[in-house]
A and B are shown apart, each in its own frame.
Chain A
């Protein structure tokens, strides 16, 4: 019977991508001078398991490619090769190639053979040219007259199910003649021996038999991570130089290519989720509690008659049920929460690459990686974040020369931080660059017709202009930013997640982009409001206050638009029944209530018939079976089983403004 390997593919890809991320961060660490053996080992292990996995699943292209990387890493691990910038660059490049290969295989598309070949050449060139000794050892072609194998297993090798004797036997079968010397130096006294530990090491001399080094590695392929293995050629006669010797020009090309090529950060929303075991345990506990409460309550079903005492107990039970249900709900929500480091981890690489492209010196400080947020939010926040960081790097931070002139240190600092604030997650991208250029923004906006020529506005509003569609101040359109499609998309994406983005800037000191996101997309604190016979839900988070109307505070502007004077502010009144086409109980403002809400810095006062109460509601998508409706963010099911719609404040404001615009047009039309 054959096992269907297909079912494991998804896991393989997931693990491989994780491995690649680990390799990447490890390599970046190496570049910054963290040449720690443990670090190199970590990188090596990731490469090794990708190689192993891809071999098992028959992705031979990946396995072959990884093999070369592994060889190179192995040399670094054994101290045979200096960790140099060019090697790290090449390895980083191959991580990208590998990622693309895996993506291609997963999506069933064609692998970009050119880039694979080029990178392979680059790696082979390093292997072949710079270190002749290792070139001899690592070529698949070469055979020596014999080999000396130093095999020193770690003490726990037996626990992984490997038998050292079997390995030696296998080696023996390769060679014409094998001499094995055992080293018992580390053997403890008999009383201290753990029967399951391995204390010996071996030196095996293999003579004759046309063995290549790969053959030997093959034998040890399962125990690579569990032993120290050194293979030396017995008679180093082979005057071998790698077959892939290339001119320098070719070698130079690969790293360059990587810089210009943008990484394909496809926002693949994988359907599985890794959950910390403690969260699952918590869930199981809660379910256990729930079952106990349920069995306690079910006893009341058998009761013939109810005395005041039993009713009291019933009430207690119901209260318990309620608290357990709530806790269970919270625990389930926590399963969906993941640390933001998943979104942050790509930035060291991004900043590293971009700072090379822009010839800027940049230090990236990341804080609050442990802040947890909903998986869906996490997946969708990645791209906007990338854009903002790129933007800070490209437009924010000045060139080293300019920085020195401005009396700052040559190295610019970008700070990426995440933290909780109120019921929100706040992500900040802060740079110490030049700050936003107010005059430039304003003149650009006027040029593009986004604001009228003589318009004056406060600084915040000027800065806010960068989020308008079709706006870009970059003098030179670079490949990174400056196409003018960025910031408005950033704002739209964040808004889709129910969040908001704003920017603060001080000329000469830098700018701060602040993203506010809801903790979870699934649950919302809702204010139920009644309009006619309908019940709608307003997110409590956007409500500023609710008030009864005083008629003297109502002002009509230009005949149709109404505003309400609240203290020193004039707030437009939105008659929800008009916008949604509902028959209200009353159209007289004084009979109903105004709910003042705010979204993205804009305030409106929504006129409703009644406030009905507050409750936590589970957000259900309208799109699952229907489609997105303007002004609504979803629906929920109320206690009585009926459906209530949840209002999207930002969308409602847009809808109101459109409504106003069209009524202005119709007035103008009538006048003409």
Chain B
């Protein structure tokens, strides 16, 4: 009840929109807040970092900053895919509580589009079998009959980081 009332309220007042950059990963479309995207670049060779999990591909130089590159397929234990012409690296600003912002890159199959999505249209995700752990999903948005999985990149990329620390302290 109250939910519908809230929704009405939200619609009556100003509708807040969020722009999402979407990309493909193993056939599914994912979205990230476009304000977090620093740049998109094609796959280029990286410098490997020893003794890190496979999904951390290495580091690259972005205008003098050393930026780690994370392969999303490997991160979520999806099937490996050869990098091709559409493979891109999305450079993201990652905000972590108590620390300075960091810049990280993620390797995805291809970029798709930019959508303007009303914030209220992003629904909490049911427990279902996406490839990405629901832990890292902010919610689902439907655009033109398509489902887009909106990712919580802060949580995801800080967790990736944590996973590495765990491995080191074993």
Contact = CB atoms under 8 A, between A and B. Distances in A.
Nearest to A533: B48
The 8 closest A-B pairs by CB, nearest first: A580-B50, A643-B47, A626-B68, A625-B102, A637-B61, A635-B66, A620-B66, A625-B103
A642 B47 contact: yes
Which of A622, A627, A643, A644 is most buried by chain B, counting CB atoms within 10 A of its CB?
A: A643
Contacts of A534: 47-48
Contact of A626 (B45, B51, B66, B168): B66
A629 B51 contact: yes
A626 B52 CA distance: 11
A637 B48 contact: no
25 contacts: A534-B48, A620-B65, A622-B49, A622-B66, A624-B66, A624-B100, A625-B68, A625-B103, A626-B49, A626-B59, A626-B104, A626-B161, A630-B51, A630-B168, A635-B47, A635-B66, A637-B64, A642-B45, A642-B47, A642-B61, A643-B47, A643-B59, A643-B61, A643-B66, A645-B47
A499 B165 CA distance: 25
A582 B161 CA distance: 22
B67 A631 contact: no
A625 B102 CA distance: 5
B60 interface: yes
A622 B51 contact: no
Interface in B132-160: none
Interface in B11-67: 45-52, 58-61, 64-67
Interface in A629-655: 629-632, 635, 637, 641-645
Given A579-B50, A581-B51, A642-B61, A627 B161 contact: yes
B164 interface: yes
Interface string A574-588: 000001111000000
Interface residues of A, number: 23
Contacts of A637: 61, 64, 66
Interface of B: 45-52, 58-61, 64-68, 100, 102-104, 161, 164-165, 168
B36 to A, nearest CB: 14
Nearest to B59: A643
A621 interface: yes
Contacts of A625: 65-68, 102-104
B68 to A, nearest CB: 4
Contacts of B50: 579-582, 629, 631-632, 645
B169 to A, nearest CB: 11
Contact of A622 (B46, B59, B165): B59
B61 A624 contact: no
B18 to A, nearest CB: 25
Given A620-B65, A643-B61, A643-B66, A629 B49 contact: yes
Given A581-B50, A620-B65, A625-B102, 7 more contacts: A580-B50, A624-B66, A626-B59, A632-B49, A635-B59, A635-B66, A641-B61
Contacts, number: 68
Contacts of A581: 50-51
Nearest to B70: A626
Interface string A513-538: 00000000000000000000010000
A626 B47 CA distance: 14
A582 B48 CA distance: 9
A627 B59 CA distance: 11
B51 A580 contact: yes
A567 B151 CA distance: 61
A627 B66 contact: no
A309 to B, nearest CB: 36
A637 B64 CA distance: 7
Contacts of A642: 45, 47, 61
A650 B107 CA distance: 34
Contacts of A644: 47
Nearest to B162: A627
A334 B4 CA distance: 64
Which of B46, B66, B164 is most buried by chain A, counting CB atoms within 10 A of its CB?
A: B66
B51 A621 contact: no
A19 B116 CA distance: 56
Contacts of B65: 620, 624-625
A620 B102 contact: no
A638 to B, nearest CB: 9
A630 B52 CA distance: 10
A625 B49 CA distance: 13
A311 to B, nearest CB: 31
A632 B51 CA distance: 11
Which of A581, A621, A622, A624 is most buried by chain B, counting CB atoms within 10 A of its CB?
A: A624
Contacts of A630: 51, 168
A629 to B, nearest CB: 6
Nearest to A635: B66
B100 to A, nearest CB: 8
Contacts of B48: 534, 582
B114 to A, nearest CB: 25
A493 B68 CA distance: 26
B71 to A, nearest CB: 15
Nearest to B103: A625
A624 B50 CA distance: 18
A635 B58 CA distance: 12
Which of A581, A629, A641 is most buried by chain B, counting CB atoms within 10 A of its CB?
A: A629
